[in-house]
Amino acid sequence: MKVIETIAEMKRVRLELPGSVALVPTMGYLHDGHLELVRRAKAENRWGVVSIFVNPTQFAPHEDYTAYLRDIPRDLAMLEKVNADMVFIPSADEMYRTGHHTWVNVEQITDRLEGEIRPGHFRGVATVCNKLFNIVQPARAYFGQKDAQQLVVIRRMVSDLNMNLEVVNVPTVREADGLAMSSRNTYLSPDERRAAVVLYHALKLAQKMWSQGDRDPHRMRHEMIKLIEEEPLVEKIDYVSVADSETLEELHEVSPRALVSLAVKIGRPRLIDNIVLE
Ligand code: PAF
């Protein structure tokens, strides 16, 4: 497994790679959800490149970019085991040189849900993904369904800007009790970890209501919120949404492939999760 630390070297190595190249963009501190992206990328392409870059521009000033968990030796050991071919670890100074003034702004769909609570977040995500796509030039880029809005934003950007790659969506990897895997779970105390499964239970409730023929999004949200509020360790519900899975607009009637998503603060971390109703 080759570790590459500069943009120039990544570009040079890329030119010598025959066959399809997959990119798995990450911010490191990997878990099995990331490894699943790499497994898929490797199964479907000749080369699997993983980027590890804690992107400063997607953090708001109060979100503490410097405190984001980092452990490169641990990440590299995990990536060896899933046969990643290359790991690209650029520095923030090189990615954002003094005088960097170009941003990618995907409009409208970034005003809702996570975008409403974290203004500017998706501008940072879209910009860094655009840069990584330009540097690595992948045929396919792999993203987890857990960050559903991020996936919608990246798909929109790739389509709107006629970029030459396929965006691949990989299902959320869950712990045995249903909690979606996330680096943020590390911040949960044992009691909070037990409480955090309430997000999954709320999504299961929505799925059950849908299966039983309930098409009222207000009732669906109401029942989900009621269930979440029964958990004493829940600090705050940021949103519970039943939305169109492309426009992310709230639905007046629940339809097939509706995106049910939620963001809930349990103790220190803010957890997000979603399902698409089938
Ligand atoms: O999902 C993430 O880890 C990040 O938002 C991404 C896609 C690597 C961009 O920094």
Percentage of residues in the chain having pLDDT higher than 70: 100
What is the Rg, in whole angstroms, of the alpha carbon atoms belonging to the chain? 19
* d(CA 201, ligand 1 centre) in Å: 26
Is pLDDT of 64 > 90? Answer: no
Give the mean pLDDT of the chain: 97
- pLDDT in the model for residue 229: 98
Is pLDDT of 234 > 90? Answer: yes
Is pLDDT of 232 > 90? Answer: yes
d(CA 90, CA 224) in angstroms, rounded, equals 41
pTM exceeds 0.95 for this model: yes
Whether 27 is in the pocket of ligand 1, judged by its Cβ within 6 Å, is: yes
Mean pLDDT in residue range 5-12: 98
Q: Mutation test of ligand 1: which of 29, 35, 55, 170 has the most ligand atoms closer than 8 Å to its C-beta? A: 55
Is pLDDT of 39 > 90? Answer: yes
Angle between helices 72-81 and 32-44 in degrees, nearest 10: 40
- Residue whose Cα lies nearest atom 9 of ligand 1: it is 125
Is pLDDT of 113 > 90? Answer: yes
Q: Which domains does the chain have, with CATH numbers?
A: 2-170 (3.40.50.620), 183-276 (3.30.1300.10)
Is pLDDT of 70 > 90? Answer: yes
- pLDDT in the model for residue 140: 98
- pLDDT band for 250, please (50, 70, 90 cuts): very high
- pLDDT in the model for residue 62: 87
SS3 250: strand
Whether 227 is in the pocket of ligand 1, judged by its Cβ within 6 Å, is: no
Is pLDDT of 4 > 90? Answer: yes
- Residue whose Cα lies nearest atom 1 of ligand 1: it is 26
Active site residues: 34
Is pLDDT of 211 > 90? Answer: yes
Whose CA is closest to 195, among 142, 232, 160?
Answer: 232
- Residue whose Cα lies nearest atom 8 of ligand 1: it is 26
* d(CA 152, ligand 1 centre) in Å: 13
Is pLDDT of 135 > 90? Answer: yes
Mean pLDDT in residue range 126-139: 98
SS3 130: helix
Whether 157 is in the pocket of ligand 1, judged by its Cβ within 6 Å, is: no
- Phi and psi at residue 19, in whole multiples of 5°? 85, 180
SS3 82: coil
- pLDDT in the model for residue 241: 98
Instruction: Report pLDDT digits (tens) over 165-177.
Output: 999 999 999 999 9
Is pLDDT of 192 > 90? Answer: yes
Q: Where are the alpha helices (DSSP H) in 82-230?
A: 92-95, 113-117, 121-136, 148-160, 190-195, 198-211, 217-229
Whether 25 is in the pocket of ligand 1, judged by its Cβ within 6 Å, is: yes
Q: Mutation test of ligand 1: which of 121, 122, 129, 167 has the most ligand atoms closer than 8 Å to its C-beta? A: 129
Is pLDDT of 268 > 90? Answer: no
Whether 128 is in the pocket of ligand 1, judged by its Cβ within 6 Å, is: yes
* d(CA 38, ligand 1 centre) in Å: 14
Whose CA is closest to 153, among 209, 104, 221?
Answer: 104
* d(CA 35, ligand 1 centre) in Å: 14
Is pLDDT of 217 > 90? Answer: yes
- pLDDT in the model for residue 203: 98
d(CA 270, CA 71) in angstroms, rounded, equals 21
* d(CA 25, ligand 1 centre) in Å: 6
